[in-house]
């Protein structure tokens, strides 16, 4: 017999920690995280958290901006929840110890792309996510009924009679255990590692999304992957994020000729929605011949009246390591995979289509972001819907069902198998970037699907002899997520938000003002529904 807990939370980002705080008031909570507490997409969020704290008019404007950015398919009820409950959740966070930047005793607010006015709160300039993660983790750790299983991978969900009753956990010593729970929350973040170029940390491999899908839960809007316009573009250097707040402070984008080019793409110029800016940079960076690229730069040399080093200490320190300075240099940039608008389909209370399983944060899809997330709404989403998921887990009051211990214990991979595994992952990531990134069409998506199926076959062979490891589980998750992205992108024969088809360049509201639902069925893996 495995161990038991009231509530199991997968992930220690903002959504998981906010839920854990709520759940701990009513039962024992186990938070499983693949590395140390705080190593999550939340920790790396630079830009800030968007919140309307100036009353009803401010909230209404935040709603309008969120809906406009989502390009026609934002689930309005979800967006209303986000902007209305956001101020309460942020005030709560401040009460619990989160220290946001202030000026003259007032919270400092800045503006980012597609926002109608300044409403972005920051902490330590460009370390907002780290501060939110720190404060939530500290507050959660005060609760004696919250335990953390660090360096632990959730490798499977146990389903009985249409309900998730337990999960299998693989620790850093390769020991497998099964934990039964009244309810399981997936708050394991996104899947940027599906792409070779990403701003996401190594842990963002889509594990929770893939596990939910394999257990039978529906996914939604998987074709909508947001590519952040401005990641560093230096040979051999990871795609470090250069925050949208840089453009909020007035940064220009310049092509290889030194020209500002955003006026050709959108009236808001550098503060246009992210999908527009990312595609503009991609097009400006294309050479005359196939495969040829040209440099695009971020330019802040003209900025006056702002101490850029103080305002962006983390970015300043990173650039200094590579001999660059915001005040002096043009900074080479290119888009990189950043945020998944889709995920596990949930209602407004975090319930998935599978009993006993809940989801919140980037792993979930309420439809709140539509086809293109408004900048800095992600941390707010984690706070608001992390709390909501916890409330529904408590309200549903599911009984604890004991699950038998696992029957099969995976054996570690041999060194040669590990090398083959990494080659398979690298090939999958490269194919997704080549065939399913910012500019898509049927022929490239089909090439991507063929590459994904080849990777899935190789991974199945590795797992067949009873082998298993954290990395193999991550690779299988990335393959499953890639499959959902590719099928969903093929099914949506239009361009909308972050999903752009060269062969269907126009928006088609008549047929596709709907959300895609990925079930993975062999005959019809994707359907479309109106929420």
Active site residue 388: no
Rounded Cα–Cα distance for residues 90 and 51 (Å): 8
Q: Which residues, at least 6 apart from 88, have a Cβ–Cβ distance to it below 8 Å?
A: none
Rounded Cα–Cα distance for residues 119 and 110 (Å): 6
Rounded Cα–Cα distance for residues 305 and 163 (Å): 58
* DSSP structure string for 132-183: HHHHHHHHHHH-TTEEEETTEEEEEEEEETTEEEEEEEEETTS-EEEEEEEE
- Active-site annotation holder among 274, 351, 470, 480: 274
**Burial of 513 by CB count in 10 Å (0-12 exposed, 13-18 middle, 19+ buried)?**
middle
What own/partner pairs with CB < 8 Å and gap ≥ 24 does 59-65 have? 59/83, 59/84, 59/87, 61/116, 61/117, 62/86, 62/119, 64/116, 65/114, 65/115, 65/116, 65/374
Rounded Cα–Cα distance for residues 82 and 76 (Å): 10
- Sign for the CA dihedral angle at 341, 70, 220, 424 comes to negative
Backbone torsions φ then ψ of 113, nearest 5 degrees: -55, 135
Backbone torsions φ then ψ of 173, nearest 5 degrees: -90, 10
Which residues are catalytically annotated?
274
């Amino acid at each position: 017999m495995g161990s038991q807990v009231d509530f199991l939370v997968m992930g220690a980002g903002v959504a998981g920690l906010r839920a854990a705080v709520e759940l701990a008031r009513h039962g024992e909570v186990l938070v499983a995280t693949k590395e140390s507490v705080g190593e999550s997409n939340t920790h790396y969020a630079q830009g800030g958290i968007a919140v309307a704290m100036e009353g009803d008019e401010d909230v209404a404007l935040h709603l309008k901006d969120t809906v406009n950015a989502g390009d026609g398919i934002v689930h309005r009820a979800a967006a209303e929840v986000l902007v209305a409950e956001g101020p309460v959740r942020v005030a709560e966070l401040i009460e619990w110890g989160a220290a946001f930047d202030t000026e003259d005793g007032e919270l400092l607010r800045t503006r980012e792309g597609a926002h109608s006015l300044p409403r972005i709160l920051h902490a330590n300039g460009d370390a907002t996510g780290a501060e939110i993660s720190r404060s939530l983790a500290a507050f959660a750790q005060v609760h004696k009924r919250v335990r953390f299983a660090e360096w632990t991978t959730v490798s499977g969900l146990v389903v009985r009679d249409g309900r998730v009753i337990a999960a299998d956990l693989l620790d850093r010593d390769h020991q497998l255990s099964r934990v039964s729970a009244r309810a399981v929350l997936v708050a394991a973040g996104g899947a940027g590692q599906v792409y070779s170029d990403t701003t996401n940390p190594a842990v963002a491999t889509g594990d929770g999304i893939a596990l939910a899908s394999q257990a039978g839960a529906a996914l939604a809007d998987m074709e909508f992957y947001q590519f952040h316009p401005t990641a560093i573009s230096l040979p051999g250097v990871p795609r470090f994020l250069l925050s949208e707040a840089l453009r909020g402070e007035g940064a220009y984008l310049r092509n290889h000729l030194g020209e500002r080019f955003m006026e050709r793409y959108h009236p808001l110029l550098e503060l246009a929605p992210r999908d527009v800016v990312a595609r503009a940079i991609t097009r400006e960076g294309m050479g005359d011949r196939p495969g040829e690229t040209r440099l695009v730069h971020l330019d802040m040399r003209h900025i006056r009246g702002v101490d850029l080093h103080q305002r962006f200490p983390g970015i300043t320190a990173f650039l200094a390591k590579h001999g660059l300075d915001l005040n002096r240099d043009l900074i080479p940039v290119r888009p990189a995979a950043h945020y998944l608008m889709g995920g596990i389909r949930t209602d407004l209370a975090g319930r998935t289509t599978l009993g006993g399983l809940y989801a919140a944060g980037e792993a979930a899809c309420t439809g709140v972001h539509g086809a293109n997330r408004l900048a800095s709404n992600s941390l707010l989403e984690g706070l608001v819907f992390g709390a909501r998921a916890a409330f529904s887990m408590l309200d549903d009051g599911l009984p604890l069902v004991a699950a038998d211990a696992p029957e099969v214990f995976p054996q570690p991979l041999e060194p040669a198998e590990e090398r083959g595994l990494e080659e398979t992952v690298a090939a999958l990531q490269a194919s997704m970037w080549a065939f399913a990134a910012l500019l898509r069409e049927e022929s490239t998506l089909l090439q991507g699907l063929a590459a994904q199926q080849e990777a899935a076959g190789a991974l199945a062979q590795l797992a067949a002899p009873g082998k298993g490891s954290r990395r193999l589980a991550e690779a299988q998750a990335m393959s499953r997520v890639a499959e959902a992205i590719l099928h969903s992108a093929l099914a949506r024969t239009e361009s909308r938000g972050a999903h752009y088809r060269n062969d269907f360049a126009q928006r088609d509201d008549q047929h596709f003002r709907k959300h895609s639902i990925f079930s993975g069925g062999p005959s019809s893996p994707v359907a479309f529904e109106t929420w």
